[in-house]
């Protein structure tokens, strides 16, 4: 029993670390360095957004690849691919001589996240005991907050030499990849094809548009959060970085998503989260020149975003109980598609009007996301988790292991 628990704990820690380097460093640190990259490569808002969109498109393709790879060769292969891609992408950004190479590095780094999430979700679903599974999924997902938290101090230490920070990110990614090779098991899907049946269960009617809406709304802060604080709010490099650090630090609260969802239910958790998400995004637009207000907005955004992506993971794995990697993959695919559309549009609004207009539009989209909340909430008996009924049929023999969603 002790050995099994240690194995679960080690897997969770390694998974959290992979999410930290792929999401927090390889992908979202682009937004942290946006003002510096804008000046270094003479980029306008539209181009900054387009590069970010390329990263999200790469993420979409990587999700599809990861789902197939996990099915055929196991979770370790997908996780190793994620770590290797994060290492290569961050190194390419660090060495970029021009905007084209920068864009290629950002795209490659963004692909790492799409490779990481489905494979780790599958590994956790098949290794961690059912009574600890939701909590483990939430802790792994909170790695985004850890990575964002780490990226801020590193950028401050590397003031005057942003490339040094990205070389540090590449080194961290390489170390985590070696750890992943040791601890993530090569568990595979139970089914030869890895595809669920039905391919689109009833839950996806709300799950997929909900994920896309979150992606659209989140593109504002992830891509232009620090940029708006500097270019519109007039904050210094240090002050705006502090805002980013707070975002990551409070984002670690996403580790408690499972506990919060067990009390509120998926429907209430999603609805309340999207409203708070809209408030945080609107604060970035309406109180741009106030450092205390931006710190509050960043803290709220960090906690709520990580929490909402945690809800998507729980929702996706319950909608596809026999193919958890597919469930998380399709959810995060729609999330990334939303971000791919949102980033260039918000950048374009910033060029044509003002970045604040783009942020207010993103806040309005977040409010609309409440409409896609799970339809029904009933209590199930798997450690008291409140969740959806009739989202996906669960075979009788699996009812003791999997929550309906």
Name which CATH class applies to 1-184: mainly alpha
The per-residue pLDDT for 195 is 65
Could you give the CA distance from residue 246 to residue 284 in angstroms, rounded to a whole number?
Answer: 14
Helix axes of 99-127 and 130-141: crossing angle, nearest 10 degrees: 170
pTM: 0.79
Over residues 359-372, mean pLDDT: 96
The per-residue pLDDT for 191 is 45
19-45 burial, b if ≥16 CB within 10 A, otherwise e? bbbbbbbbbbbbbbbbbbbbeebebeb
Which of 117, 116, 109 shows the shortest CA–CA distance to 27?
109
**DSSP at 88:** H
Could you give the CA distance from residue 147 to residue 338 in angstroms, rounded to a whole number?
Answer: 22
Q: Where are the domains of the chain?
A: 1-184, 201-376
What CATH architecture applies to the domain 201-376? Answer: Up-down Bundle (1.20)
Q: Is the pLDDT of residue 396 over 50?
A: no
Over residues 373-379, mean pLDDT: 61
Over residues 290-310, mean pLDDT: 92
Same fold, 1-184 and 201-376: yes
What's the pLDDT tens digit per position in 54-63?
A: 988 898 899 8
Report which secondary-structure segment, H or E, holds 378.
strand 378-379
């Amino acid at each position: 029993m002790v050995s099994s628990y240690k194995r679960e704990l080690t897997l969770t820690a390694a998974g959290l670390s992979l999410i930290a380097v792929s999401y927090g460093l390889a992908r979202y640190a682009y937004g942290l360095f946006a003002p510096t990259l804008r000046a270094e490569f003479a980029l306008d808002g539209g181009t900054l957004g387009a590069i970010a969109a390329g990263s999200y498109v790469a993420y979409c393709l990587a999700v599809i690849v990861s789902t197939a790879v996990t099915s055929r060769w196991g979770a370790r292969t997908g996780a190793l691919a994620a770590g290797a891609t994060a290492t290569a992408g961050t190194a390419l950004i660090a060495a970029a001589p021009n905007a084209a190479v920068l864009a290629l590095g950002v795209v490659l780094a963004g692909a790492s996240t799409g490779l990481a999430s489905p494979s780790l979700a599958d590994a956790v679903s098949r290794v961690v005991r059912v009574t600890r599974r939701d909590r483990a999924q939430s802790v792994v997902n909170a790695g985004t907050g850890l990575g964002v938290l780490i990226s801020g101090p590193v950028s401050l230490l590397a003031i005057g030499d942003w490339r040094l920070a990205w070389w540090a990110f590449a080194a961290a990614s390489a170390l985590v990849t070696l750890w992943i090779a040791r601890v993530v098991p090569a568990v595979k899907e139970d089914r030869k094809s890895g595809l669920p049946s039905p391919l689109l269960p009833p839950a996806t009617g709300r799950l997929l548009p909900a994920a896309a809406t979150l992606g659209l709304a989140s593109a504002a802060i992830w891509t232009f959060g620090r940029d708006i604080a500097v270019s519109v709010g007039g904050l210094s490099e240090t002050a705006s970085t502090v805002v980013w650090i707070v975002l990551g630090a409070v984002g670690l609260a996403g580790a408690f998503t499972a506990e919060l969802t067990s009390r509120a239910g998926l429907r209430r958790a999603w609805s309340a989260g999207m409203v708070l998400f809209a408030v945080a995004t609107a604060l970035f637009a309406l109180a741009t020149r106030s450092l205390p207000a931006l710190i509050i907005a960043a803290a709220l955004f960090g906690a709520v975003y990580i929490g909402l992506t945690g809800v998507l993971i729980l929702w996706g794995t319950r909608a596809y109980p026999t193919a958890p990697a597919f469930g998380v993959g399709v959810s995060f695919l729609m999330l990334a598609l939303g971000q791919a559309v949102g980033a260039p549009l918000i950048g374009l609004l910033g060029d044509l009007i003002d970045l604040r207009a783009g942020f207010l539009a993103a806040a309005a989209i977040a409010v609309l996301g409440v409409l896609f909340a799970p339809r029904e909430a009933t209590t199930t008996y798997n450690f008291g988790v409140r969740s959806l009924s009739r989202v996906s049929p669960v075979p009788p023999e699996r009812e003791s292991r999997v929550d309906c969603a």
